[in-house]
Structure 1
């Protein structure tokens, strides 16, 4: 069975990386429910300070309440999808706890799409809606629409400013990946690391050949591995504690050494299985970890058996 790439969590991660310097001014709610029915906005971004103006050019249009729709590499931005996201904004406006507590003047709509929507822009022009490129890859819509709206074509965004969004593609450019790794290698906060992890998981899964070339670059490969260093160190610390307990019977130094070795094995197996459960194939995991594919398959089989026994 072919595993689908989880593009939406990756997009949330990429946008989190984009806004990491300004995150205190925004509260992002993925899969936001609209009322009691199962209608969900891909991402609702509410400014924590309505007077704040985002420095990131993607956020220049934003006001207090910002409806965000994401179309992954396998999705098309059609005229119906265009009206649907406007409908989401209208529903959000009408679902406030009090009458007019959400001002229409404070709502914006942003749609992220991988490819330039040629057909949609022609159809919009025919109904009196004009798309103008405000910044590279960022198109503001004007005309017969109820809210300020922009369409962001991630493949046309500035290479120097938006590498995280640019690599959410099935035709990734290696330079974008290298730039993203370089820009994020110093991030240490757990939320930032989780966002970077989500972006790389999706991009690596969809661009095996490109990441295989990057893996051969020792510096870049180390940057990939560093993303999981915290998790490995945590499991190693736990194993060291277990090793000290065993040391009572075998001699403390020997017990600690055993604990450390077992800890590294546990961390490695957990890392491999985590990648597998997120949609990576054994071949792709072997590429990322620089281990033989046969070893990867044995680890996956062993972890799967452990999980089955636990349940």
Structure 2
């Protein structure tokens, strides 16, 4: 199922995973179906957000996201402002059980629009009405002269892959391929799998060709468990990346590199003869070597597993 808003929530969670914030999806503003896309609440109101996208953040930060085939219209802009003021007037302050008058201060609120491409009509409209814009950060447009801090994040214009890769894969960004590569090189822990896989699935809907290319290119960077996890999850999402033969070869290539890395850590230098033996070994043999790596005390011991 194509659900860009959930993909965006995944991306923003990944983007701000190291920050002290709580992220809620589709916060209802009333009993009627009136809701905002994301509300980011600082757990500690005075803590500073390190990421550039959060430089304007205060205690309560409302995010309105537009999918790749949508845009921020003039009316969307005013609706976003309306959501902020409704949130201030209706919702309880963080960790309070009931609403009190003015318990959420106007100074504690910000508004962020996130879209794939620059909303030119809106930009022109704001300029006509003397609303100042500052694009000192590539891809982030700060809007002044409003009662609250407002920014527009244009995903296709972001340039800092290291910092913004989770968001960059949701658009046709110039550095889209680099952002996908960053996802693969940052899969380190099992707890990160689900978010990373979801981002890869979302990226497929942007450019399946580039994502397939990156998966094949980085197959040898993943260990066997990671590789199988990636492929199985993407297969379940009905994305055909590999034929069965390609899948087998990719997993074997990943195992080859894993075994070579383990042996280099243990013995520093590996004669070319043994590198060749490892490259010619099948998946079962490579797995046996990896499982018994601590029992291999000299490089010649490899022959017990490889040479009949």
Calculate the aligned-residue CA RMSD, in Å: 2.6
Q: Which residue of 2 aligns with 1:158?
A: 159
- Equivalent position SS for 2:114: strand
Larger radius of gyration: 2
- Equivalent position SS for 1:33: coil
Q: Is this contact kept in 1: 2:157–2:173, CA < 8 A?
A: no
- Equivalent position SS for 1:124: helix
1:250-289 mapped onto 2 (5 Å cutoff): 271=233, 274-276=236-238, 285-287=239-241, 289=242
Q: Is this contact kept in 2: 1:214–1:220, CA < 8 A?
A: no
Matched, 1:63 2:58: yes
Q: What's the CA shift for 1:286?
A: 2.1
1: CA distance between counterparts of 2:139 and 2:226?
A: 31
Q: What's the CA shift for 1:159?
A: 3.2
Match of 1:174 among 170, 173, 177: 177
Q: What's the CA shift for 1:228?
A: 6.6
Q: Which residue of 1 aligns with 2:244?
A: 291
Higher RCO structure, 1 or 2 (CA under 8 Å, sep 6+)? 1
- CA 118–290 in structure 1, closer or farther in 2 if over 3 Å, else same: same
Q: What's the CA shift for 1:169?
A: 1.7
1: CA distance between counterparts of 2:223 and 2:89?
A: 46
Kindly tell me the number of residue pairs found equivalent between the two proteins: 237
Q: Which residue of 2 aligns with 1:100?
A: 102
Q: Is this contact kept in 2: 1:43–1:68, CA < 8 A?
A: yes
- CA 120–174 in structure 1, closer or farther in 2 if over 3 Å, else same: same
Match of 1:37 among 18, 32, 36: 32
Gap runs ≥5 in structure 2: 92-98, 247-308
Q: Which residue of 2 aligns with 1:282?
A: none
Q: Is this contact kept in 1: 2:37–2:64, CA < 8 A?
A: yes
2: CA distance between counterparts of 1:193 and 1:153?
A: 26
- CA 225–136 in structure 1, closer or farther in 2 if over 3 Å, else same: farther
Q: Which residue of 2 aligns with 1:242?
A: none
Q: Is this contact kept in 1: 2:117–2:155, CA < 8 A?
A: yes
Q: Which residue of 1 aligns with 2:116?
A: 114
